[in-house]
Amino acid sequence: MNILAIGDVVSKPGLDTLRRLLRTLKKQHAIDFTIVNGENASGVGITPDQADDIFDAGADVITLGNHVYNKRQIIPYLDDCSYILRPANNAPQQPGRGWGIYDCKGYRLLIMNLIGRCEMAFGPDNPFLCADRILREQKGKYDLAVCEIHAGATSEKLAMGFYLDGRCSAVYGTHTHVQTADARVNPKGTGYITDLGMTGPLWSVLGVEPEQSIAMFRGDLTEYFRAAGGETALMGAVFDIDQSTGKCRKVTPLFERLGG
């Protein structure tokens, strides 16, 4: 079973890149299930139309992160659609769901979406205890499990990868928009990468025009951030999983460039 996870899709350039590349990549890598992080589809947040665009491009499930509610029109969509996931360790009264069980090649695939707590000002619940709770409560209802940890600290993501080693087939990180060079299979069989990277403008600072980001760090007065133009890239990883054992055999990073 090949599971493809795509890093944060940023603004219109990211959506256009996903639309142009995703279906071809799925064929090339014989992908059985695709997860796309869409929380930056509007720059910060996602609208229902943008979620529909991501599904139309070939995603099976959309995950979100700390910008989940920046576009308030997404709130009814989160309750109505079981294929879009907000962080499971957000406050329980918030709209949406943080995990789901989906069919993949006749197997029951549990996808859970967690958010880290390091430097996340809104104070989510403990993601490690939340993962324990989901796996315990859903025991016997799924065959394979995949976990996304949307976090700023590499240490928190690495710790989650080891914490769930042998309990999930794959654990991967999002949020920092920079693909890491540590794709691997952990000792007990869990595929892991600290960050998938992003899908959007290549010559940018996390998708934003470099000049604007430089101005912010210099302390200059700045305008609202604009997505950079030019060449784009799709970043992610393919997890090759032995469905009979639940162990990952290989993790292959993807970095596909598209001329601007």
Annotated binding site for Fe cation: 8, 39-40, 66, 150, 175, 177
Which among 67, 71, 86, 117 is annotated as catalytic? Answer: 67
CB 56 within 8 A of CB 167: no
Positive or negative: CA dihedral 108, 82, 88, 150? positive
State how far the Cα of 62 lies from the Cα of 86, in Å rounded to an integer: 9
Q: What backbone phi and psi angles, to 5 degrees, belong to 62?
A: -110, 135
Q: Is 217 exposed, middle or buried (0-12, 13-18, 19+ CB in 10 A)?
A: exposed
Say which residue the tokens 């393919």 belong to.
Answer: 238
State how far the Cα of 7 lies from the Cα of 225, in Å rounded to an integer: 20
CB 131 within 8 A of CB 163: yes
- The alpha carbons of the chain give a radius of gyration, in whole angstroms, of 17
Which residues, 6 or more positions from 218, have their beta carbon under 8 angstroms from its beta carbon?
Answer: none
Residues comprising the chain, all counted: 260
State how far the Cα of 150 lies from the Cα of 195, in Å rounded to an integer: 9
State how far the Cα of 162 lies from the Cα of 169, in Å rounded to an integer: 12
Query: Is 67 among the catalytic positions?
Result: yes
Residues in the annotated binding site: 8, 39-40, 66, 150, 175, 177
Q: Rounded to whole angstroms, what are the CA distances from 54 to 76, 116, 118, 158, 205? A: 17, 24, 29, 28, 23
Which residues are the active-site residues? Answer: 67
